[in-house]
Structure 1
Amino acid sequence: MSLVILAHPNYDKSFANKTIIDELKSNNMNIEIRNIYELYPDYDIDVKEEQKALLRHRNIIFQYPFYWYNMPAILKHWFDRVFEYQFAYGSKGDKLKDKNFIPSFTVGSSERSYTALGFQHFRVYEFCKHLEQTAYHTQMNYIEPIYFHGTSLAAGYTEEEIRVNARLHAKKLIQTLIELER
């Protein structure tokens, strides 16, 4: 069973993230989706409920748009609150041990812009080290991020291009979940 922590501030207007979630829902997989913007519009995270959700699942997917080389603020706040001492780390903080930590996100700019000589100057994976360290610190299994570029209309991509690539992204995510369940 898998859990998706969805963190998109404009989910209803998202072509990419909405398509990914729709594909996951239509695939008849045993997935619980927690839209934290919808659940906590005031950022008042119910820590115990979120921890219970984490405990119910082996695969934890963090689905979000890549914002300013990071995750949206609510997801960072969610980590700060939910991955607390003696739950996620500390002498008794082994509750997430051996669970799979799966970053899944969308990137607005082109892949070409995320190169040493590109507009962003770094590759996407270089911005993910904090995710990897969080997984290791909480004794989770870090799964390489699943992401795709070109999700922004402002960057010149069409709705249809974005949706096609989002469906491909969802297939990769589903395949990863199938492999992890073996």
Structure 2
Amino acid sequence: MALLILGHPTYERSLANRQVVEHVQNSALNLEIRHIQQLYPDYRINAREEQNALLRHQTVVFQYPFYWYNMPAILKHWFDVVFTYGFAYGQGGDKLKGKNFMASFTIGGPQESYTTLGKNHFRVYEYCKNLEQTAYFAQMNYIEPFYFHGTSLHAGYTEQDVVREARKHAQKLVTRLANLP
């Protein structure tokens, strides 16, 4: 069974992430979804409850939109509150050891803008080093991030384009999760 931590602050207006989550939710996967913005609109995250959710699952997927080259604030705050000393790291902090850690996110702009000579100057994986180090620090199995580009209507993509690509991404995500040990 997998756990999906949904960290989208405006999920009700989302097109891409909503398509991904709904597709995964309607798949045959045994999946628990925790929509943290909905659970904690005041940002008062219940660390114990979230830690218990993590303990129930072998695989943890973090689903979110790529905001300013990182995760949304609610998800960063979730990590700060939940991945605590004695739980995720430090003395006695081996509770997540051996669990799978995977980020699945959407990127508004085109792939070509995430190159050395592109508008954003760096490849996407370079922005994910903090995720990789977090997984390693918590002794988790880091799985390369899973993402797709072209999700912003403001960048000129159509709703049909976004929905089509989100569904393809979701199907690949389901397949990837189904094949994890």
What range describes the TM-score normalised by the shorter chain of this pair? Answer: over 0.9
Deviation at 1:31, TM superposition (A): 0.4
Deviation at 1:28, TM superposition (A): 2.3
Partner SS for 1:93: coil
Extract unaligned runs of 5+ from structure 2: none
Work out the CA distance in 2 between the residues paired with 1:20 and 1:62: 12
Partner SS for 2:128: helix
Q: RMSD value over aligned CA atoms?
A: 0.6
Q: Is 1:167 aligned to residue 167 of structure 2?
A: yes
Q: Which runs of 4+ in 1 moved over 3 A?
A: none
Partner SS for 2:62: strand
Q: Deviations over 1:24-67 (max 9, x none)?
A: 11112110000000000000000000000000000100000000
Alignment of 1:29-48 (within 5 A): 29-48=29-48
Work out the CA distance in 2 between the residues paired with 1:131 and 1:157: 28
Deviation at 1:12, TM superposition (A): 1.1
Partner SS for 1:180: coil
Tell me what 2:94 maps to: 94
Tell me what 2:59 maps to: 59
State the percentage of identical aligned residues: 62
Alignment of 1:26-175 (within 5 A): 26-175=26-175
Tell me what 2:22 maps to: 22
Work out the CA distance in 2 between the residues paired with 1:112 and 1:177: 27
Normalised TM-score (structure 2) = 0.99
Q: Which amino acid aligns with 1:74?
A: I
Work out the CA distance in 2 between the residues paired with 1:97 and 1:172: 26
**Residues 69 and 127 of structure 2 are in contact (CA less than 8 Å); yes or no, is this contact kept in structure 1?**
yes
**Residues 29 and 178 of structure 2 are in contact (CA less than 8 Å); yes or no, is this contact kept in structure 1?**
no
**Residues 96 and 138 of structure 2 are in contact (CA less than 8 Å); yes or no, is this contact kept in structure 1?**
yes
Work out the CA distance in 2 between the residues paired with 1:148 and 1:85: 33
Q: Which amino acid aligns with 2:99?
A: K
Work out the CA distance in 1 between the residues paired with 2:21 and 2:112: 26
